[in-house]
Amino acid sequence: MLGQEEQQNNRGAPVIELENVSYTYGGGALLSDVSLQLNPGSFHFLTGPSGAGKTTLLKLCYGALLPTSGQLKAFEQDVATLDRDQMALLRRRIGVVHQDCRFLDHMTLAENVALPLMVSGRAESAQQQDLTELLNWVGLGTRQEAVPPELSGGERQRAALARAVILSPDVVLADEPTGNVDWEMSQRLLRLLVELNKMGKTVLIATHDLSLIRAAKSQVQARVLRISQRQVQLAGADL
């Protein structure tokens, strides 16, 4: 099964595990019989052509979708058995950088990034120093009071990454995080994701950018997965 070799090289149970998972929508199978393990501290790229199911697989990984068949586990819990409160707690452990980077335009960048803190009930004042440090880390310390329409594409992507990790999740899922930025900014975003991995976070990046994957090889030991014919396979060594 995909993931056995990696499991031998990483301690601890998988943080996310799919076993014979299929997902069907509108009468057609998007994913079929997928078995995959994401282990603690691992780094993955997920490739495949547009429409192959990369976003669908990410949504399964953080519980936005449930499998049509098969079993999905997150942190050793069967996601299908979780109630609403349990699911909310689980999602705090998984940070997601969405492809569309949606923000509330009437709120400042800092307020947008801090939204998960407010939703989770944490006192914002107690987290202000952490928020400032996080924004400095992604290079947005001087842009805290800017509103989303004033941000460039690269700034929006970095803000999205900051928002995804504000609750210090164990897993970071990024859906085409460099799709709308130039090469220099894509490298900066990659370095930030590699830094998160070095902090012990499990990282999965969905991307069609093979150049980005090649550039990552000198920075991190990454596993490259490809969706092909509705299944997840190890990508070849030609990448």
Is pLDDT above 50 for 120? Answer: yes
At 8, is the pLDDT very low, low, confident or very high (cuts 50, 70, 90)? very low
Asked whether the beta carbons of 21 and 69 are under 8 A apart, the reply is yes
Do 160 and 176 reside in the same domain of the chain? no
Cross-strand bridge partners of residue 19: 71
Do 80 and 3 reside in the same domain of the chain? yes
At 5, is the pLDDT very low, low, confident or very high (cuts 50, 70, 90)? very low
Do 196 and 87 reside in the same domain of the chain? yes
Is pLDDT above 80 for 127? Answer: no
| pLDDT value, residue 7 | 39
Residue 230 lies in a domain: yes
Tell me the C-alpha distance between 32 and 29, whole Å: 6
Q: Which two tokens stand for residue 10?
A: 């990483």
| pLDDT value, residue 1 | 39
Do 176 and 89 reside in the same domain of the chain? yes
* pTM as predicted: 0.89
Asked whether the beta carbons of 112 and 104 are under 8 A apart, the reply is yes
At 26, is the pLDDT very low, low, confident or very high (cuts 50, 70, 90)? confident
Do 84 and 35 reside in the same domain of the chain? yes
Residue 101 lies in a domain: no
Number of domains in the chain: 2
Cα 32 to chain centroid, rounded: 21
Residue 227 lies in a domain: yes
Do 175 and 74 reside in the same domain of the chain? yes
Is pLDDT above 90 for 182? Answer: no
Tell me the C-alpha distance between 141 and 32, whole Å: 44
Do 56 and 75 reside in the same domain of the chain? yes
Tell me the C-alpha distance between 95 and 174, whole Å: 8
Residue 100 lies in a domain: no
Is pLDDT above 60 for 6? Answer: no
Q: Which of 176, 103, 189 is nearest to 146 (CA)?
A: 103
| pLDDT value, residue 125 | 58
Q: Which two tokens stand for residue 188?
A: 């900066």
Q: Which two tokens stand for residue 22?
A: 């299929």
Domain extent, residue 46, equals 1-93+171-180+189-239
Tell me the C-alpha distance between 164 and 180, whole Å: 18
Burial of 200 (C-beta count, 10 Å sphere; 0-12/13-18/19+)? exposed
Q: Which two tokens stand for residue 235?
A: 């990508």
Residue 103 lies in a domain: no
> The domain that contains 20 carries what CATH number?
3.40.50.300
Alpha helices in 50-119 (DSSP H): 54-61, 84-91, 109-119
Do 40 and 87 reside in the same domain of the chain? yes
Tell me the C-alpha distance between 172 and 183, whole Å: 21
Do 153 and 122 reside in the same domain of the chain? yes
Last residue of a domain, one of 121, 138, 168: 168
Query: What are the backbone angles phi and psi of residue 202, rounded to the nearest 5°?
Result: -85, 130
Q: How far is CA 96 from CA 25, 28, 162, 196, in A?
A: 22, 26, 10, 13
Q: How far is CA 72 from CA 23, 60, 184, in A?
A: 11, 8, 36
